[in-house]
Structure 1
Amino acid sequence: MTTPTASSATMPGSGLTAIPAYVPAEPPAGSGAVRATAARSLRWTLLESFGLSGLSFIALIFFSRYLSAAEFGIAAVAIGIVQLLNVPVEMLFHDALIRTREATARHINSAFTAALLIGVLLTGACWLLADRFAALIGQPEVGPVLRWMSLGLVASGWGSALVALQRRHMQFRTLALRSTIGRGGSAVIGITLAVSGAGVWSLVAQQVSMTVLATLALWLLAPERPRFGLSRPELGEMTRFGVPAASFSLVGLSTQRFFMIGVAAFLGVQAAGILSLAFRAVDMLRDIVGSAVAQLALPIFASLQGSRADIRRTFSAAVRLTTALMYPLFAGLAVCSYEVVEIVFGARWLGAAPFVALLALLTFQFFGRLFSVPIYNATGHPVLPSIALLLQIAYVVAGMLLFGRFSLEAAAAVWASRLLLGLGIDLWLLRRVTGLSVAGQLAGAMHPALAAAAMAAVVHGTKVYLLAAYDPALRLALMVGLGAVTYSAVLWLLNRSLVLELLAFARQTVKRAT
């Protein structure tokens, strides 16, 4: 990775200076520079990650108290469609602006104008076709919700170029503030409407206002702003670069969105709402760590792209530390799912508890493979993960048509079993790219997984035979304490050096933060 140069050229009549050359994929003279930059950025990526997921989780708690499962299901389908349509708006020019060696004002203005036009066109398409789509899946209530929720695409178009520019310069502070303002303000708006009895429209208001507020904050915080203008050469250059990246993002988002649409179409919006709450609860907790780590992983692995041995060592250490921290949390969530759902969301959502448990266990695969995509990107193989993702989409669609349509449990089985297909392909691909054997890829997660399994068994047995008569809150507190002690003890017995490594990592993190 090269650092920005001190010079910049002004484009006549553009109102914006050219952005100095900056190419994240090129390593600096020493990898220590990348680690230092990543360390300085850590506090802001963590703030953004914790802030966004934390605010979203608080809002989810309020929504669960005032909205029905059917309203959650209607919103889940509409949100899924808007998120898919937002990919070309947000991502078509994003990577091109970040990675191009010389991003001139013509690049920036063209990306801004084109993204805004795409957002307007897709919003218009939603207004014209929403009712037809709703009729196609047999859920007419989705149509009006989708129309109004699509307004967020226009706001996303206004801000997408500026987001890319802030990431180009690693201005994570601005991005963290922008995201926190958007998520916090929209949470207040959505919760206020939910308490007032607005129902599903409180979720619509939250989604649209989140994008509007975040974009407005970014325009106020950014030192320079794009103007309207289209330049065919620059637009063509960015489009050629951006189409593969946007396509991969679209494929990555499609699996869960297609699955939720299938659940709503075959099993109804109430079933979709139950699964939606389970997905949102687990995904928000998972993304607190996942999104922060993912933002910092690419520059670190990019600095090592010339050395397969260094990549293997870094991958193993990253998997070892991440799984040691995350596996006990999500194994604990799985075994305590009924208590957590009842206390946090209310007894009427207990039907979601088994799906919360299942999704919590599926995060084991997520954290074990969290660093695969950054390695593919850093080593020049960004398209490879799409192979597994495309096969998973086909599997989910076929599985829902043949099997998942009969019950919510069958649909959940389709969702879980798709990971077996994806995991096998990812293990093979990463072995080809890095030379790291399948056993080597899994070794770092082995001891944390065994310790987490032992913890879950002890906690579950204690819950069933000793704590069943206790109040849910007291039972949960006792289970958490027992789980923490059990996991720590078992991991110490299995791998004492890993425990010491975790303690050293914690000390370094605290020292860096202070």
Structure 2
Amino acid sequence: MKIISFFNSNYWLRSGSINLLQNTFTLAISFGSFYFLIRILDKADFGVWILFMSTISIMEFARVGLISKSLITYLSSASRDSHNSIITASFVINLSLTIVLALACYLFAPLFSKMWDSPQLVPLFNLYIVTFVISGFLTQYQAIEQAHLQFRGVFLSNLIRQLALLGFILYIYFEGKQTSLIALVQVMTVGALVATLVSRYFVQHTFRLSIKLDRHWIKQLLQYGKYSFGTSMTAVVSSSIDQMMIGSLVSATSAGIYNIAVRVTNMINIPTNAMATIVFPQSARRLEDFGDVGVKSLYEKSVGTVLAMLFPAIVIAYVFAGPVIHFIGDERYPESIPLLQLTLLSAFFIPFTKQFGTILESTGRVKLNFYATVISVVLNVVVNYVFIRYWGIIGAAMAMLVSYLILFTATYFILKKILGISMVAVWRYTFESYNEAYNKLMEWKREVNCSEKK
């Protein structure tokens, strides 16, 4: 009972375990969906699917940027008497943005279809509008739960949403049936609906709407969220622009080839995303309790811990890039091998840049983070255009490495000036993580030896 009580009372242990579990399942399900999907779709359809997913992810992340982070921030710090008014204001903003983005999706679908020479994109985008409306409620519910430092509903709803698509793909693969891209979107819609209902259950006691709409909170949420919205939107554009430009400057099939390398790199970066989820609400509280000193320590420790987990994975994946690509994408995608090796080098810089944005937003410096993100996107677009134009697909991987190197350098000097972060401290935490893991391993071996002697 004492162990359970300690687990429930310790934020880092509780939220860290749930987020680690969630990201482990996300990694497994994402890999499973990708692994079998690439085998049931031809290279052309797979490329179109990648371009479709890259586009809708911009819509989803844009909404999360405006809604989630501002709602989490104010619910975490405001008095309970204001919670209903904050939730109501956030819900109205959410609904309004969802309508605007859904309309934009409908209007721009023909343009994307023509730009990427893929007529089947139009019905895909039109159907996804239904999914997008449903997931708007899911975004709202999950943000409310995270604001109360709870993650179980977030974990379960995300799991259900991902398993719906994986289950359908496995059915098609093992039954030897044919499927269409439109059928995949239909399954996504069903998964989003079930996930939303589950998430609603976990916040049923905290999701309360006020009869009166408080304009003060509308203004406050928009004031904070507009920069977070811009940051999230530009960040996801930056992460997708290379694939989109490959689809436009080369071909949709080439975008699918490049995506394989990027996807492997993203899988390796799962610990980075998990840490960012934990750090965001905790950073806001550290700022209030300990000031910039507490945030500085949080940044150094979180980046150092993630680097300790990433380094072995990156080295192994780099050395065995050939077998990794052949295993994931079968023998049809040998072009992805050199792409993977280049994108893996970029992965070393991602923990620094990821936590840079998380720290700035959680400490109220959203305006600075917004400007930094916009500049990085412009840089990324220019570098990608030049490199892809001259070197094709390999140029996109080179552009990713160059862009992250420049961004890492800039963010380091910004945080050094603002918080006084130390690169030495980051690496100290990295090596301390290895030392701690070694000591725990030795302790476990001693316990095993003692039990065997008994």
TM-score (norm 2): 0.83
Aligned position for 1:118: 97
Verify: 1:175 aligned to 2:154, yes or no.
yes
Verify: 1:347 aligned to 2:326, yes or no.
no
Distance 2:135 2:372 in 1: 29
Distance 1:374 1:507 in 2: 35
**CA drift at 1:302:** 4.1
**Cα contact 1:334–1:356 (8 A) shared by 2:** yes
**CA drift at 1:332:** 0.7
Verify: 1:212 aligned to 2:193, yes or no.
yes
Distance 1:87 1:502, change over 3 A: same
Verify: 1:200 aligned to 2:174, yes or no.
no
Distance 2:152 2:48 in 1: 35
The structure in which a higher percent of residues are helix is 2
Distance 1:274 1:238, change over 3 A: same
Instruction: Select the residue among 203, 213, 227 that pairs with 1:222.
Output: 203
Distance 2:434 2:319 in 1: 23
Aligned position for 1:482: none
Q: Let me know the Cα RMSD of the aligned residues.
A: 3.1
Aligned position for 1:292: 274
Verify: 1:51 aligned to 2:28, yes or no.
no
Deviations 1:78-105 (A, max 9, x none): 2222221224433323233222214443
Distance 2:280 2:202 in 1: 26
Verify: 1:414 aligned to 2:414, yes or no.
no
Verify: 1:259 aligned to 2:233, yes or no.
no
Distance 1:318 1:107, change over 3 A: closer
Structure 1 counterpart of 2:310, one-letter code: M
Instruction: Select the residue among 85, 90, 93 that pairs with 2:67.
Output: 93
Structure 2 counterpart of 1:416, one-letter code: L
Deviations 1:210-230 (A, max 9, x none): 433321221244324456977
Structure 2 counterpart of 1:264, one-letter code: G
Q: Among all aligned residue pairs of Structure 1 and Structure 2, give the percentage whose two residues are the same amino acid.
A: 18
Aligned position for 2:261: 278
Distance 2:428 2:318 in 1: 22
**CA drift at 1:260:** 1.6
**Cα contact 1:99–1:168 (8 A) shared by 2:** yes
Query: Which structure 2 segments of 5+ residues have no match?
Result: 1-5, 445-454
- 1:388-407 equivalent positions in 2, closer than 5 A: 388-406=372-390, 407=392
Aligned position for 1:187: 166
Instruction: Select the residue among 421, 426, 433 that pairs with 2:411.
Output: 426
Verify: 1:75 aligned to 2:49, yes or no.
yes
**CA drift at 1:47:** 1.8
Distance 1:323 1:270, change over 3 A: same
Distance 2:443 2:102 in 1: 47
**CA drift at 1:137:** 4.2
**Cα contact 1:77–1:264 (8 A) shared by 2:** yes
SS at match of 1:371: helix
**Cα contact 2:147–2:281 (8 A) shared by 1:** no
Distance 1:55 1:88, change over 3 A: same
- 1:104-115 equivalent positions in 2, closer than 5 A: 104-115=83-94
**Cα contact 1:76–1:276 (8 A) shared by 2:** yes
**CA drift at 1:320:** 3.4
SS at match of 1:55: helix
Give the aligned length. 427
Aligned position for 1:133: 112
Verify: 1:364 aligned to 2:364, yes or no.
no
Deviations 1:336-378 (A, max 9, x none): 1111121233111222222222222211111355533333234
Distance 2:91 2:247 in 1: 35
**Cα contact 1:368–1:442 (8 A) shared by 2:** no
Structure 2 counterpart of 1:345, one-letter code: G
Aligned position for 1:473: none
Query: Which structure 1 segments of 5+ residues have no match?
Result: 1-31, 449-494, 510-514
Aligned position for 2:452: none
**CA drift at 1:274:** 0.7
Structure 1 counterpart of 2:55, one-letter code: I
Distance 1:248 1:54 in 2: 28
Distance 1:440 1:41, change over 3 A: same
Distance 1:367 1:49 in 2: 16
**Cα contact 2:18–2:152 (8 A) shared by 1:** yes
Distance 2:279 2:405 in 1: 25
Residues 428-437 or 278-287, more deviating = 278-287
